[in-house]
Each structure stands twice: as C-alpha cells, then as structure tokens.
C-alpha cells in the first residue's frame, strides 16, 4: 500500500496550522503597539472607500461626480464626523463638570437614604475616607500620559491613512505583478471582493441597527428627563458594535447617571428596564431579520473572539472582533488544509456561500 507523502498527511497539516496560528498570536501580541494604529488607519481608509463608492452612485445631469470631488467629499464626511464627535463629548463633559456640585449633592442624599435603609451610619463619610486614599495625583499623571499617547497615535494614524490612499492606486498593479497567472489572480480578487462585500454588509447593517437603537433610546431618555440624552444615545450607538456585552454597558451608563441626577433607585430601574427592552427587541427580533445569516459565525466563536481580541487589543479589539473573525472565516474556507477550521467557526457548518470556486478550463 502506497503511503502519502508526509506533507499530505493530516497530522502534518494540523502541526503546520498550529505553528502558523501560534506565530500569528505571538505577532499580534508582541507588535500590538505597532499594529493597532495601522489597523485603525485601515478602518478609516475602509470607511473613506465605502463612502467614496456610495457617492460614486450619485449622478448630476446624468454624469458621475469627478474623482477628486468624490475623494474630497469622502474625506470631509469622515473627518467632519470625527470633529463633531469630539465636540459632542467635550461639550457634554464640560457641562457635567460645571454641574458636578449639584449632582454630588443629589448623590450624597441618595447615599444617606441608602445607608439609613441598610442600617449603615455615616455612609458618605466612609465613602469620602475611601476616596481620600486614592492616589489622585498618580491618576492625573496617568491620564495626562494617556492623552499625550493618544495624540501621538492620532498623528501616526493620519500618516498611515495618507499613505494608504496613495498606495491604493497601485494596489491592483501589484496584485497583477505578484500573481501573473490569470486564474490565481482572479481567485485572489474574488476572495478580496468577498471580504469587502461581507464586511461592508455587516458594517452597513450593524450601523443602521445601532442608529435605530440609539434613536429609540434617545426618545426614552428624553421622556424620563435624563440630562445629556444625546450623549448617552451616542454611546449606546457606539457600544452596540461590541457583541453581547456592549449593549449591557451602554444600558448601564445612562441608568447609573439617572441615580446621580435624580437620587432614586427607581429612576435607575425605570431607565435600565426601558433601554434594555429596546436592546432586547432590536437585538432579538429586528437584527436577526435584517442581518439574517450573513456572517454565519458560531455564537461561541464570537464570544471567544471577543474575549481574545479584547485581551490583545483592548477596546479596539472588542470592536473589531467580529469583522476580523469573519475575514478569517472567509480566508480559511479557501484552502483545503484549513477548510475544516472554517467549518468549525460557522454556526451551521455551511461554507458554500463564501467558497470561491476554482475556474475550470484553460
């Protein structure tokens, strides 16, 4: 009986894939400070490209807009949105700081009432004693250091974005040079197109769902009279991109602030229950109908990916955990040696819709 070469054995493939995965994990952990700004730049570049394509569908007098105008509008929308977001956060935080004494007095009354109901005497004094033990000077120094690091990161990200936009023009030529064989080149292009379309569909639908969740939450918060309702609705919109735990965090933020503003546990419960009902309805009924099985990722895989990327790249990793895992699924499905891994990542074991068929014939 003829034996297969070692390179064709299942054991060899498992060992090879394990080594590659191990090297990949080492690489993204060890070089995370270098990779995170680049990944952020790729995100912004991707958004610019997506907006550029949408603007390209607009026609004036039967003609498409010129390339330079589409590019200018795309950049203006992205950086205008970033500027508006920064202004929103700064304005609301400044207002919270300006009214801090009022909120503190209300919260103190709440703590006193809570202490009396629990039989705890001088609860505010005990809390103040614990706060005095905190190293505020060290906290402020760390905050300033983080801010300076953030500014430096933003500069690096902007530089990366500029070079990505410049390199984009020559990217297709490089693909042609790397893969002179037409069939291989076409296959690579199809895989890249599948990645782009899958990611674009997920981000577009998720953005629409997040806007709906944020808008409904804004209405509820306004009805309850919670201050800075737009800020909380915006945070709900942002955190909705993080699977599972993001919606819980987003719901807790305005609910906790309701205690600070109104000084009542009932206000916390009413706000939390109302916003959580919105999250449950949108998450369990609207989102499945809109998104369907577009990603086909196993819920367990999503949770593991969320934990892993959150550990490796912090908050950025949590936001990117689903798109990164989806890209891995598409790539792994294209190679016989890793196809079984792709099947394990799916929810129903079906990878036919993402499998790029080899072209037959000469």
- pLDDT at residue 205, as a whole number: 85
Q: Are residues 67 and 116 in the same domain?
A: no
- pLDDT for 7-25, tens place per residue? 456 667 677 777 887 888 8
| HSE-CB of 192 using CA atoms within 13 angstroms | 10
Q: Which residue has the higher pLDDT, 114 or 2?
A: 114
- pLDDT at residue 167, as a whole number: 82
Catalogue the E-assigned strands of the chain: 59-60, 63-64
Which of helix, strand or coil describes residue 197? Answer: helix
Question: pTM score, two decimals?
Answer: 0.79
Q: Are residues 145 and 94 in the same domain?
A: yes
Q: What are the Cα distances from residue 75, in Å, to 78, 203, 255, 281, 326?
A: 5, 19, 36, 35, 27
Q: Does 145 reside within a domain? A: yes
Q: Does 315 reside within a domain? A: no
Res 121 pLDDT > 80: no
Query: What is the band of 148 on the pLDDT scale with cuts at 50, 70, 90?
Result: low
Res 345 pLDDT > 60: yes
Q: What is the mean pLDDT of the chain?
A: 81
- Last residue within a domain, chosen from 148, 177, 206: 177
Q: Are residues 124 and 172 in the same domain?
A: no
Give the range of the structural domain holding residue 32, as residue numbers without chain letter.
19-98+135-177
- pLDDT at residue 275, as a whole number: 93
Among 26-35, 55-64, 84-93, 128-137, which stretch is predicted with the lowest mean pLDDT?
Answer: 128-137
Q: Are residues 92 and 121 in the same domain?
A: no
Q: Are residues 81 and 163 in the same domain?
A: yes
Q: Are residues 92 and 40 in the same domain?
A: yes
Which of helix, strand or coil describes residue 60? Answer: strand
Residue-by-residue DSSP string for 295-338: S-B-HHHHHHHHHHHHHHHHHHHHHHHHHHHHHHHHHHHTSTTT
Q: Does 237 reside within a domain? A: no
Number of domains composing the chain: 2
- pLDDT for 67-108, tens place per residue? 888 888 888 888 888 888 888 888 888 888 888 888 888 887
Res 6 pLDDT > 50: no
Res 356 pLDDT > 70: no
Res 135 pLDDT > 60: no
* C-alpha closest to that of 237 among 257, 207, 274, 200: 207
- pLDDT for 320-341, tens place per residue? 888 888 888 888 888 777 788 8
Q: Are residues 46 and 83 in the same domain?
A: yes
- pLDDT at residue 362, as a whole number: 44
Distance of alpha carbon 31 from alpha carbon 36, whole angstroms: 9
Res 264 pLDDT > 50: yes
Q: Does 242 reside within a domain? A: no
- pLDDT at residue 138, as a whole number: 59
- Last residue within a domain, chosen from 83, 114, 134: 134
- What does the pLDDT average to over 151-168? 82
- pLDDT at residue 97, as a whole number: 82
Q: Are residues 36 and 119 in the same domain?
A: no
- What does the pLDDT average to over 111-139? 63
- Last residue within a domain, chosen from 158, 177, 196: 177
- pLDDT for 175-216, tens place per residue? 778 878 778 788 888 888 888 888 888 888 888 899 999 999
Q: Which residue has the higher pLDDT, 163 or 142?
A: 163
Q: Does 267 reside within a domain? A: no
* C-alpha closest to that of 335 among 191, 195, 199: 191
Q: Are residues 126 and 23 in the same domain?
A: no
Distance of alpha carbon 42 from alpha carbon 97, whole angstroms: 35
């Amino acid at each position: 009986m003829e034996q297969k070469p070692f390179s064709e054995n299942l054991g060899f493939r498992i060992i090879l894939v394990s080594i590659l995965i191990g090297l990949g994990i080492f690489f993204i952990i060890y070089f995370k400070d270098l990779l995170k700004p680049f990944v952020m730049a790729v995100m912004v570049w991707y958004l610019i490209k997506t907006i550029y394509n949408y603007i390209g569908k607009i026609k004036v007098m039967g003609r498409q807009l010129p390339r330079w105008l589409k590019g200018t509008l795309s950049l203006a929308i992205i950086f205008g949105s970033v500027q508006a977001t920064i202004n929103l956060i700064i304005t609301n935080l400044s207002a919270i700081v300006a009214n801090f004494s009022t909120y503190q007095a209300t919260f103190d009354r709440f703590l006193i009432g809570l202490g009396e109901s629990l039989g705890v005497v001088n609860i505010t004094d005990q809390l103040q004693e614990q706060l005095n033990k905190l190293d505020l000077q060290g906290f402020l120094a760390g905050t300033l250091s983080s801010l300076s690091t953030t500014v430096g990161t933003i500069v690096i990200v902007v530089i990366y974005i500029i070079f990505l936009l410049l390199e984009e023009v020559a990217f297709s030529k490089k693909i042609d040079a790397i893969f002179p064989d037409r069939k291989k080149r076409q296959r690579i292009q199809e895989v890249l197109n599948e990645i782009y379309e899958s990611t674009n569909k997920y981000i577009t639908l998720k953005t629409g769902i997040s806007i709906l969740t944020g808008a409904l939450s804004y209405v509820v918060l306004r009805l309850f009279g919670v201050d800075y309702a737009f800020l909380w609705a915006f945070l709900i919109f942002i955190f909705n991109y993080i699977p599972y735990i993001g919606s819980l965090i987003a719901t807790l933020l305005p609910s906790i602030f309701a205690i600070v503003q109104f000084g009542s546990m009932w206000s916390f419960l009413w706000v939390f229950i109302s916003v959580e009902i919105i999250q449950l309805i949108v998450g369990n009924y609207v989102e499945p109908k809109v998104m369907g099985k577009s990603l086909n990722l196993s819920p367990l895989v999503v949770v593991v990916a969320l934990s892993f990327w959150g550990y490796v790249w912090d908050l950025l990793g949590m936001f990117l955990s689903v798109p990164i895992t989806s890209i891995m699924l598409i790539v792994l499905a294209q190679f016989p040696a890793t196809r079984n891994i792709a099947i394990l990542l799916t929810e129903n074991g079906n990878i036919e819709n993402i499998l790029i068929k080899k072209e037959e014939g000469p």
